[in-house]
Structure formats: C-alpha cells, structure tokens
Amino acid sequence: MPKIADHSDRMRAIASAAIGVIGEAGIHNTRLRDVARAADVTTGAVTHYFDGKDAVLEAALAEVVRRLIEAQRSARVVDGDVAGAVAAFMPNTEERRRDWKVWFAFWGRAISDARLRRQHRAYYAAILANLTDSIRAFQRSGLAHPAADPALLADAVVAAVDGLGIRASLEPDEWPPERQRKTLRAMLEPILRAPPPI
C-alpha cells in the first residue's frame, strides 16, 4: 500500500503537469495521455487518480488556487504601490498566463455546472477573505479610504484583476506587463481612495 504522502505528491505532480497542458492546448484539446506524458507517468496512473478530464481540470485549478493564496499571503505593498503588488497576479509571465488559462477553462465549464460553480465560489471566498484583510491594512496605512466598505473594495479589486486579466490573456502582444500595470493603477488607486457613496 503506497504511503499517503506518495499518493498526494503524485496527484499534485499530475495536477501541476495538467496546468501546463491545459494552458498550452486549451481544455477542449487536452487528452489524459498528454497530461500523463507531461507528468511522466502512465495514462493508467492518471485515470487511477482522476475519473476523467473534468477531474483533472478541477485538480489543476485547485493547484492554481493553492499557489495564488500562497502568493497573496506573502504579497507586500512597497512605497504605497498597490497596483505594483497586485500586478504579481496578472498574466504577465509564461507561468502566470498558464494559470489564467486554467481559470478560463474552469469558467467555461462552471458556467453550466452547479457543482463547479460552488467550488469556484469557495475559492473566491478564500481569495476575497485574504484581500479584505489586506484592504483593512490599507485603510490603517492610508492607502484606502478609512470609511469605505472593505468587502465592497475587495469585490471591486477582484473584478478589476479578472477583467484586465481576460483582456491581457486574449491580447498578449498588445498587453505587455507595463500596460497591465498602468491600467491596473488607473483602476485600483481611484477605487481604493474614493470616499464611500453618501
């Protein structure tokens, strides 16, 4: 009987390999044997752990989210540059672009699948909880308006990142990192500093 650590390590290695395959070919062109080849295991090993393509996609997104939340926890705002810190989550490196493609693939499925939507909501809740904490810290240090609703600002920041991430993912040549950062700055700074509506 394999050790639990081996089991979960193996699953995570397959999920990580799946991020690369989905990010390269799109979910509709991803075959389990391509994932197996990328993970350097047999197709049988993939089907042993995952009961189909959707299960592999779910595991790939779980790994993307795990890394994202880890990055959120270690993110630091330098010299009041919130947009600069948030830019670390944008599709501005090969690795990040792959992560975004996994989100795209998941969105495309979740839109017509209630179970995947619940999973998506749980991920967003975790991301928003971390972000809301950061925004409270911004309020204490003068980077966000002290009277604003932190949860509303967190929704706004996530929407700004998602919307810009879509555009930059679909038009990679027109959206180098500097343009992403500039547009992010034009969105986040006014949103965070605005007084709440009366």
Could you tell me how many residues of this chain bind a copy of itself (CB under 8 A)? 49
Among 26, 52, 146, 176, binds a copy of itself (CB under 8 A): 26
Q: Minimum distance between the CB of residue 3 and a copy of itself, rounded to whole angstroms?
A: 36
Does 181 contact a copy of itself by CB under 8 A?
no
Q: Is-contact 101 169, C-beta < 8 A?
A: yes
CA gap 3, 12 in Å, rounded? 14
Among 39, 59, 90, 187, binds a copy of itself (CB under 8 A): 187
Q: Is-contact 157 131, C-beta < 8 A?
A: yes
Whichever of 11 and 165 has its CB closer to a copy of itself, that residue is: 165
Sequence-separated (6 or more) residues with CB below 8 Å from residue 120 = 106, 107, 110
Alpha helices (H) along 26-149: 32-39, 43-49, 53-74, 82-86, 94-110, 114-140
Does 171 contact a copy of itself by CB under 8 A?
yes
Positions that interact with a copy of itself (CB under 8 A) = 24-29, 101, 104-105, 107-113, 117, 120-121, 124, 152-153, 155-156, 158-167, 169-171, 174, 182-183, 185-187, 189-191, 193-194, 197
